[in-house]
Amino acid sequence: MGTDKDIQSNGSTNIDEKNSFSIRTCTIEDLEGVIAVNERELPEDYPYFFYKNILDNFSESFLVACSENGEIIGYIMWRVEKMPSTNSLRLINKGHLVSLAVFQEYRRRGIAAALLTNSMPAIKKHGINEHVLEVRVSNYSAINLYKKFNFKIEGIKKKYYRDGENAYYMSLKN
């Protein structure tokens, strides 16, 4: 385990091989694996060009988690969007969490936390004032994760998802 591109790894000192993973930036060759995680773990699917566009424009905050054998087991992607400021109608650049998922069998090992920890400073380099995201109101695990990173619930977006579920809009001001 371990390549020049590795940003963070907990593999070297971990005796439980199932708990070993590495985090690195996504490459074009990884997109198939990213899409496989997305399609298994989230109802929101995107076309290939959507991932490719984010990779082309925000590659340094598009990270993948890999298992010991190199399989993609999680990913995170962000983009910068101009959005109204919370306190005024002025448009400001915000780092928007587009998608984050980890394969079910690899959960509760700190993979999502590692993906967030390593990607948030990378998207911040684009000069954003806030990290923002939407999360299903029923998604207890993800809400808990974001609260752990000090994201605050700012409001509810009614029927945000295609199936009609509401989203919490969460934000972390820099």
Ligand X SMILES: CC(C)(COP(=O)(O)OP(=O)(O)OC[C@H]1O[C@@H](n2cnc3c(N)ncnc32)[C@H](O)[C@@H]1OP(=O)(O)O)[C@@H](O)C(=O)NCCC(=O)NCCS
Q: Can you tell me which of 83, 145, 153, 172 binds ligand X, judged by CB under 6 A?
A: 145
Site string for ligand X, 44-63 (x = CB under 6 A): --------------------
C-alpha 102/C-alpha 120 separation (Å) is 17
Q: How far is CA 81 from CA 56, 102, 126, 131, in A?
A: 15, 24, 10, 10
Under the criterion CB under 6 A, does residue 138 sit at the interface with ligand X? no
Q: Output 113 or 156, the one with its CB closest to ligand X.
A: 113
* Triad 75, 53, 140: Cα angle to 5°: 35
- DSSP 8-state secondary structure symbol assigned to residue 15: S
Residues 6+ apart with CB under 8 A from 58: 77, 78, 79, 80, 123, 126
Q: Can you tell me which of 3, 27, 53, 141 binds ligand X, judged by CB under 6 A?
A: 141
Under the criterion CB under 6 A, does residue 41 sit at the interface with ligand X? yes
Under the criterion CB under 6 A, does residue 126 sit at the interface with ligand X? no
- To ligand X, the closest distance from the beta carbon of 5 in angstroms equals 20
**Site residues, ligand X (CB under 6 A):** 41-42, 100-102, 107-113, 135, 139-142, 144-145, 148
